[in-house]
């Protein structure tokens, strides 16, 4: 591959402009200096065919072509790729006009779960392109840089050998390259979404933005949760009216500055297993009453991730207590987005439950316990897992025939 560009010294949170071509489409991005190419391809350009496994250059899932040579996208920073020609698995073939390698993998059953398939396709493309005379007995070693968890190696070797045998005079090039619109999950920085991307990337800066614009499209997490508090509505109203107190009820969150005009600066910390995220950002209260709140927020974390959210909170009387309802749309980019929707959703819901408990405490005149401590993410995860196991057991109990099975097992 060509020598990656050396980037002038820059702070790890600064956005760096970079231009390259992906599958024939010129792209201009402004990305955090430490954002990997694999994250930029997936999150900013929507090219999720490049899979991420180990993020340490071991498993080969993220293999792509840079200037015609196979490279690990997880080992490169996006900002190093200025001027590069990148080919991802999306560029290899079209659904109705597959590349011979894709067609051969299907015919030889070289894909099972498909997780390693993009890596194997791009790796074997590179191999056959550079070594058209490769012998079958050399294929296992040559392709050993990609790991198949389903252990489908025999069929994968058959598939690659078939293409090699039939294309000794040259492998056909990628069949799906050309100008097209590329839009990521958060449209930060693609040329195709230049106006919106500029708005979003400028917005996640150090100074308060004029406006928070949420990305269009489906959020990473959508939450609609309700819980009933013991405290009566008039006590909960006192918490809603005191924005500092309300902020202290949010697990791991801290309001650091009131900026006027219903704008606030704050930070939030979340630790998910070994991953520690520290978000700094802004919140804008679009509506703030004693029984309702509409908030837009955005923040960036020190590892280059970004979060944007729209939250509606509503408190209505329920018996002698108060029903607290939260609806949220959350857009995530970066490491946290890699957790997957359902787990991130579980964690968010658990955090809302902790928030609701803290509001109840504050309404009783006690200091909320969550304070500015980072949420015990391990506890949250364990709780989320416990909920999952519980709901799976519940489903099993309700499944037809489960009674007989349980009886049998117990007997």
In the sheet that 221-229 helps form, which strands lie side by side, from edge to edge? 221-229, 321-333, 306-318, 292-301, 275-288, 263-272, 253-260
User: 40: which 2 tokens?
Assistant: 């930029």
| Cβ proximity to ligand FES, 52 vs 343, nearer residue | 52
Do 307 and 348 contact (CB within 8 A), yes or no? Answer: no
| Cβ proximity to ligand FES, 98 vs 150, nearer residue | 150
Q: Are strands 15-22 and 85-87 parallel, antiparallel or unpaired?
A: parallel
| Cβ proximity to ligand FES, 146 vs 223, nearer residue | 146
For residue 335, give the DSSP letter: G
Element (DSSP H or E) covering residue 64: strand 63-66
Minimum separation from the CB atom of position 168 to ligand FES (A): 27
If one counts every other C-beta atom within 10 angstroms of the C-beta of residue 17, the result is 11
| Cβ proximity to ligand FES, 26 vs 114, nearer residue | 114
Minimum separation from the CB atom of position 51 to ligand FES (A): 7
Element (DSSP H or E) covering residue 400: none
| Cβ proximity to ligand FES, 146 vs 351, nearer residue | 146
| Cβ proximity to ligand FES, 116 vs 330, nearer residue | 116
Minimum separation from the CB atom of position 119 to ligand FES (A): 8
Do 302 and 11 contact (CB within 8 A), yes or no? Answer: no
State the first-to-last Cα distance of the chain, in angstroms, to the nearest integer. 64
The whole-angstrom separation of Cα 231 and Cα 361 is 8
Minimum separation from the CB atom of position 81 to ligand FES (A): 15
Minimum separation from the CB atom of position 50 to ligand FES (A): 9
Minimum separation from the CB atom of position 147 to ligand FES (A): 8
Helix (H, G, I), strand (E, B) or coil at 349: helix
Could you list the residues that contact ligand FES (CB under 6 A)? 52-55, 57-62, 72, 74, 111-116, 148-150, 152
């Amino acid at each position: 591959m060509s020598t990656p560009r050396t980037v002038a010294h820059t702070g790890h949170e600064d956005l760096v402009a970079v231009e390259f071509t992906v599958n024939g489409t010129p792209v201009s991005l402004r990305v955090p200096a430490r954002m990997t190419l694999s994250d930029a391809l997936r999150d900013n350009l929507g090219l999720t065919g490049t899979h991420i496994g180990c993020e340490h250059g071991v498993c080969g899932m993220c293999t792509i072509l840079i200037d015609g040579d196979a490279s690990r996208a997880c080992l490169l920073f996006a900002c190093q790729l200025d001027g590069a020609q990148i080919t991802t698995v999306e560029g290899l073939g079209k659904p109705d006009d597959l590349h011979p390698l894709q067609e051969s993998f299907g015919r030889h059953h070289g894909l099972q779960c498909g997780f390693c398939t993009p890596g194997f396709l791009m790796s074997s493309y590179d191999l056959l392109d550079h070594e058209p005379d490769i012998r079958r007995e050399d294929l296992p070693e040559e392709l050993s840089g990609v790991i198949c968890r389903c252990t489908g190696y025999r069929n994968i070797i058959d598939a690659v050998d078939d293409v090699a045998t039939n294309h000794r005079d040259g492998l056909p090039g990628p069949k799906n390259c050309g100008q097209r619109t590329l839009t990521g999950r958060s449209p930060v920085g693609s040329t195709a979404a230049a106006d919106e991307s500029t708005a979003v990337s400028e917005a996640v800066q150090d100074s308060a933005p004029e406006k928070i614009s949420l990305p269009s499209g489906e959020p990473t997490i959508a939450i609609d949760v309700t819980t009933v508090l013991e405290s009566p509505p008039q006590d909960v109203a006192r918490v809603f009216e005191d924005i500092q107190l309300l902020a202290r009820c949010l697990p791991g969150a801290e309001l650091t500055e009131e900026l006027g005009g219903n704008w606030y600066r704050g930070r939030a910390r979340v630790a998910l297993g070994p991953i520690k995220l520290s978000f700094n950002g802004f919140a804008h209260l679009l509506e703030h009453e004693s029984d309702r709140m509409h908030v837009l927020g955005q923040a960036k974390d020190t590892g280059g991730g970004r979060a944007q959210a729209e939250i509606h909170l509503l408190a209505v009387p329920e018996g002698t207590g108060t029903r607290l309802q939260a609806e949220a749309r959350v857009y995530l980019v970066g490491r946290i987005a890699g957790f997957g929707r359902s787990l991130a959703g579980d964690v968010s819901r658990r955090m809302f439950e902790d928030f609701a408990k803290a509001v109840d405490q504050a309404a009783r005149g006690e200091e909320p316990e969550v304070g500015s401590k980072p949420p015990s993410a391990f506890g949250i995860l364990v709780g989320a897992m416990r909920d999952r196991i519980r709901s799976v057991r519940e489903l099993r109990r309700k499944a037809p025939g489960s009674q007989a099975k349980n009886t049998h097992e117990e007997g």
